Structure 1
């Protein structure tokens, strides 16, 4: 009799195998998430680390699924091997009958039946493993989609986190500005500058008013200086004065002679002054 082949029990049924792996994955991710949320020091760092952990767990799950697929392939090869042996024993039985050896043909058919029985057992195990593997593949695809979705949500959550942080800083800044001491300093400086501007304008008005008085004084001095008249005007005035007095006989004649002498002397004096000045 041919030794019976040993059927390897993978220990993974169509119900227990997928649930066990993915339940473990969920527990690990949930534990990491709760731990990260409890710390919550840096949301961006927390989410990045969470995605890293999920991808690491995904790698482990893929390894397990790959192992299940390898078990399925091994069982399938063993089943096909038993089917091939069954066909070989059948051919040998035919060959023995043709040679007229019925006992040998009967032995070959007995081996064929054993191979068929083992092949049937392998087929049952392979079908069960195949169903489990298909479920694993389906769960794995769903898991990958969830991780991809988590990756997209991570970016949105980080953006929201940064927006909240910016709003928090704005509120803190506004809260700090609620202290009016800084604004009071600005008000005092504003009043001080206004006072300085007023003082500057007052000084400017004083300077301008002094200049106006000086201008008026100069104008009056010019008028007063011109009140005596030039030599020409003085000469005309003197002629008019003499004309008003008119001739008075010999006295007037004598006076005229005296005046002529005076005029000659005055002219001579003016010429001498001009000569000495030149």
Structure 2
């Protein structure tokens, strides 16, 4: 997946804007860094080739200048020997070499400018790469912080639930104990109350029987009179 189409896209990119639009900022910043690093390698490789070409051109310039000086010396020698014809020929060779020197110097200057441009691009690209790595570090730290907070919150929730369960079980056991005590107390009280009720019932029956006997006796006396 290519995020940037050319080097200028990287240099002119707004990382914050790219990350804001990304569904997965962590993945996006990783891809951005990867592409920047690959581009940086390519630009450095290009710079290395330009440096090598520049050195080669510099050596050619040195040889051509030496050749021009050599033909200059030959022309002087010919003039000294009154051989103007040879001097002219030597100067013509020197002129041809001088023209070539001018062309090679232009090539050298173009390579020098190109190398300077690549150096500027490398510097800007390195700054962008450093910025991207800093943003990646921030994202990782934020993710770690969020994960830690979620784990902590989860742990707290589990501890709170466990504490609530333990309290509930404690109160449940306490209520069971109190109910058991009440039931135990009621067992004794129910037996005593039942016995009392039975005795009172017997006494009540005797009183009713006595009243019934009295009424029968009164009726019998009335009938006889």
- TM-score above 0.5: yes
Matched residues, number: 178
Q: Show the counterpart of 2:172.
A: 192
Match among 43, 49, 56 for residue 67 of structure 1? 49
SS in 2 for 1:100: coil
Q: Show the counterpart of 1:90.
A: 72
Match among 79, 85, 99 for residue 61 of structure 2? 79
- The answer to whether the Cα contact below 8 Å between 2:71 and 2:90 also exists between their aligned partners in 1 is yes
Residues 136-155 of structure 1 mapped to structure 2, 5 A cutoff: 136-155=118-137
Residues 94 and 142 of structure 1, relative CA distance in 2, 3 Å threshold: same
Which structure carries more helix by proportion? 2
- The answer to whether the Cα contact below 8 Å between 2:54 and 2:112 also exists between their aligned partners in 1 is yes
Residues 29-48 of structure 1 mapped to structure 2, 5 A cutoff: 40=24, 43=26, 47-48=29-30
Residues 184 and 168 of structure 1, relative CA distance in 2, 3 Å threshold: closer
> Does 2:110 match 1:128?
yes
> Does 2:84 match 1:99?
no
After superposition, give the CA deviation of every residue in 1:163-192 in whole Å (9 maximum; x if it has no partner). 234445667x59x98xxx999866653432
Match among 1, 23, 29 for residue 8 of structure 2? 23
Could you say which structure has the larger radius of gyration?
Answer: 1
- The answer to whether the Cα contact below 8 Å between 1:25 and 1:57 also exists between their aligned partners in 2 is no
Q: Report the CA distance between 1:140 and its aligned residue.
A: 0.8
Residues 152 and 184 of structure 1, relative CA distance in 2, 3 Å threshold: closer
Residues 106-185 of structure 1 mapped to structure 2, 5 A cutoff: 106-167=88-149, 173=154
When the two structures are superposed, what TM-score results if normalisation uses the length of structure 2?
0.60
Residues 24 and 182 of structure 1, relative CA distance in 2, 3 Å threshold: closer
When the two structures are superposed, what TM-score results if normalisation uses the length of structure 1?
0.50
- The answer to whether the Cα contact below 8 Å between 1:80 and 1:119 also exists between their aligned partners in 2 is no
CA distance in structure 1 between the aligned counterparts of 2:87 and 2:147, rounded to whole angstroms: 87
Match among 16, 39, 56 for residue 38 of structure 2? 56
After superposition, give the CA deviation of every residue in 1:210-261 in whole Å (9 maximum; x if it has no partner). xxxxxxxxxxxxxxxxxxxxxxxxxxxxxxxxxxxxxxxxxxxxxxxxxxxx
Structure 2: gaps spanning 5 or more residues: 186-225
Q: Report the CA distance between 1:88 and its aligned residue.
A: 0.8
- The answer to whether the Cα contact below 8 Å between 2:71 and 2:94 also exists between their aligned partners in 1 is yes
Q: Report the CA distance between 1:25 and its aligned residue.
A: 5.6
Residues 120 and 188 of structure 1, relative CA distance in 2, 3 Å threshold: closer
Residues 256-267 of structure 1 mapped to structure 2, 5 A cutoff: none
- The answer to whether the Cα contact below 8 Å between 2:68 and 2:98 also exists between their aligned partners in 1 is yes
Residues 158 and 93 of structure 1, relative CA distance in 2, 3 Å threshold: same
SS in 2 for 1:191: helix
CA distance in structure 1 between the aligned counterparts of 2:113 and 2:64, rounded to whole angstroms: 21
SS in 1 for 2:82: coil
Q: Report the CA distance between 1:55 and its aligned residue.
A: 1.7
CA distance in structure 1 between the aligned counterparts of 2:81 and 2:60, rounded to whole angstroms: 31
CA RMSD of aligned residues (A): 4.2
